[in-house]
């Protein structure tokens, strides 16, 4: 019966046709790139009747970790959770002196790259970013790194564009016995240092598998580490804070991975089950096994997906160059090769139109646009009066708040769709002097 169900699922999904009608079909800014294989994998896992994390999740963790040049992965329910427990892990290992509690981050960020810094009691030092590459301002970074109360660095590779100087910052912070967390949520498969995968030069690297990202498990995220010790701490934070590190087959074992499951764990002379011994004030941030089964299918497609993102970026970039007098177009720093998350455009001061004018025109022609997340986080109500000692000017981050928007480069877009998008953009510019 199962085979029959799975073959019907395959047949049904294969019959789905995505017909594009210019002006009627919404040009999605992003979306999942999935076919019958993901559906079959999910239903297959559901029909196994095993919902909690198991062997598929373990395999997914180790395969994803490799794509970040790390050894161990901890699968979680979102990229935001990944950032939270990556920092919890670093806090446990590195925070010794409460006065050394500052973390350098960028003002133009996704909120949950920065929120854990505040939530876990660290003090953020915000630096500005460059327009075009959206990389941190190097001068401000180097200045902030002189501060002896800095213990860490935590930033995202913005929209897939690698932060070029990550290795330099990593070497400096390691020499001061601090840590660097790379948020790679938008940058899976991007490279820096002439071909090294992002994730290589850090203590922890994180990913998101929400549908807009390079691979998706619906929702989900990953934290990846080089060391087993860090992985065990992180997994404990994910799993209620428990001390037991059993996973996969060990969960079914009567002696556990530690081989002394029942022991005097609470040091009170009474034998107790290690599975119910809590070493940390933890969370439950677990995803489901069926999501991992989807992720394994997505990984098989990753090379192709990366290639298509780069191709779509180039198609859009070649076209957009004719409007460069009005726009700051995206640019990859030297020695980096982005797997682009999106196509960010910043409107120059001399443009005779506002961001709203062009975004509204595109959206009214069914072409989705998005802001570059928050832009400057400090422009937003939640953060506005919150940071008392902001040292650096954050002018570019605020330009992003008000003047940057993004178009899609996800693999679901093709030449036919881009031809329509280009005709709409050309129509928009007919109102203004010819370029």
Ligand X SMILES: Cc1ncc(COP(=O)(O)O)c(C=O)c1O
Which residues are tagged catalytic?
213
Asked if residues 267 and 243 have their Cβ atoms less than 8 Å apart, the reply is: no
Considering only 208, 217, 315, 369, the residue that binds ligand X (CB under 6 A) is: 208
Pairing relationship of beta strands 102-106 and 150-156 according to DSSP bridges: parallel
> Would you state the structure tokens that stand for residue 45, as one six-digit string?
């896992």
DSSP state of 272: E
Name every residue whose Cβ is closer than 8 Å to that of residue 260 and which is 6 or more positions away in sequence.
274
SS3 337: strand
Complex with ligand X: residue 185 or 378, whichever CB lies closer: 185
Piece in contact with ligand X (CB under 6 A), picked from 15-23, 144-152, 183-191, 283-291: 183-191
CB of 208 to ligand X, least distance (A): 3
Considering only 131, 156, 188, 222, the residue that binds ligand X (CB under 6 A) is: 156
Asked if residues 151 and 100 have their Cβ atoms less than 8 Å apart, the reply is: yes
CB of 221 to ligand X, least distance (A): 5
CB of 216 to ligand X, least distance (A): 10
| Of the candidates 224, 156, 198, 185, the residue with the CA atom closest to the CA atom of residue 338 | 198
Piece in contact with ligand X (CB under 6 A), picked from 77-85, 197-205, 232-240, 375-383: 77-85
Q: What is the rounded CA–CA span in Å between residue 175 and residue 184? A: 23
Pairing relationship of beta strands 370-371 and 404-407 according to DSSP bridges: antiparallel
Contacting ligand X within 212-271 (CB under 6 A) = 221
Number of residues that bind ligand X (CB under 6 A): 14
Q: Does 162 bind ligand X (CB under 6 A)?
A: no
CB of 411 to ligand X, least distance (A): 17
Strand partners of residue 191? 197, 337
Q: Does 128 bind ligand X (CB under 6 A)?
A: no
Q: Does 189 bind ligand X (CB under 6 A)?
A: no
What track of x and - describes contact with ligand X for positions 98 through 117 (by CB under 6 A)? ------------x-xx----
> How many CA atoms within 13 Å lie on the side-chain side of 323?
25
> Would you state the structure tokens that stand for residue 216, as one six-digit string?
């998706």
Q: Does 88 bind ligand X (CB under 6 A)?
A: no
Q: Does 396 bind ligand X (CB under 6 A)?
A: no
Q: Does 32 bind ligand X (CB under 6 A)?
A: no
């Amino acid at each position: 019966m199962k085979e029959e169900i799975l073959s019907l699922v395959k047949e049904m999904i294969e019959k789905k046709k995505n017909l594009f009608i210019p002006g009627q079909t919404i040009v999605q800014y992003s979306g999942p790139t999935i076919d019958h294989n993901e559906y079959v994998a999910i239903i297959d896992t559901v029909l196994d009747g095993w919902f909690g994390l198991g062997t598929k999740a373990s395999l997914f963790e180790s395969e994803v970790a490799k794509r970040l040049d790390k050894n161990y992965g901890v699968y979680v329910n979102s990229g935001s959770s990944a950032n939270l427990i990556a920092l919890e892990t670093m806090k446990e290992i590195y925070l010794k002196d409460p006065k050394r509690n500052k973390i350098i981050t960028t003002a133009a960020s996704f909120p949950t790259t920065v929120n854990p810094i505040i939530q876990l009691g660290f003090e953020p030092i915000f630096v500005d970013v460059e327009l075009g590459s959206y990389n941190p301002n190097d001068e401000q970074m180097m200045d902030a790194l002189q501060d002896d109360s800095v213990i860490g660095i935590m930033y995202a590779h913005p929209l897939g564009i690698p932060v070029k100087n990550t290795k330099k910052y990593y070497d400096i912070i390691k020499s001061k016995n601090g840590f660097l967390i790379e948020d790679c949520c938008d940058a899976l498969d991007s490279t820096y240092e002439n071909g090294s995968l992002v994730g290589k030069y850090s203590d922890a690297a994180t990913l998101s598998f929400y549908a807009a990202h390079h691979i998706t498990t619906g929702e989900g995220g990953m934290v990846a580490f080089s060391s087993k010790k860090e992985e065990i701490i992180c997994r404990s934070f994910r799993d209620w804070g428990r001390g037991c590190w059993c996973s996969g087959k060990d969960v079914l074992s009567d002696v556990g991975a530690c081989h002394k499951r029942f022991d005097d764990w609470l040091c009170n002379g009474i034998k107790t089950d290690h599975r119910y011994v809590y070493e940390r004030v933890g969370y439950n941030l677990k995803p489901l096994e069926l999501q991992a089964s989807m992720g394994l299918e997505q990984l098989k497609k990753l090379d192709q997906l990366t290639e298509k993102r780069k191709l779509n970026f180039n198609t859009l970039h070649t076209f957009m160059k004719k409007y460069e007098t009005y726009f700051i177009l995206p640019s990859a720093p030297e020695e980096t090769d982005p797997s682009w998350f999106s196509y960010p455009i910043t409107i120059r001061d001399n443009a005779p139109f506002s961001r709203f004018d062009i975004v509204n025109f595109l959206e009214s022609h069914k072409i989705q646009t998005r802001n570059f997340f928050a832009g400057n986080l400090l422009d937003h109500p939640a953060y506005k009066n919150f940071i008392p000692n902001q040292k650096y000017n954050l002018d570019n981050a605020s330009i992003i708040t008000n003047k940057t928007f993004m178009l899609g480069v996800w693999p679901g877009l093709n030449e036919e769709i881009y031809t329509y998008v280009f005709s709409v953009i050309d129509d928009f510019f007919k109102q203004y002097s010819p370029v």
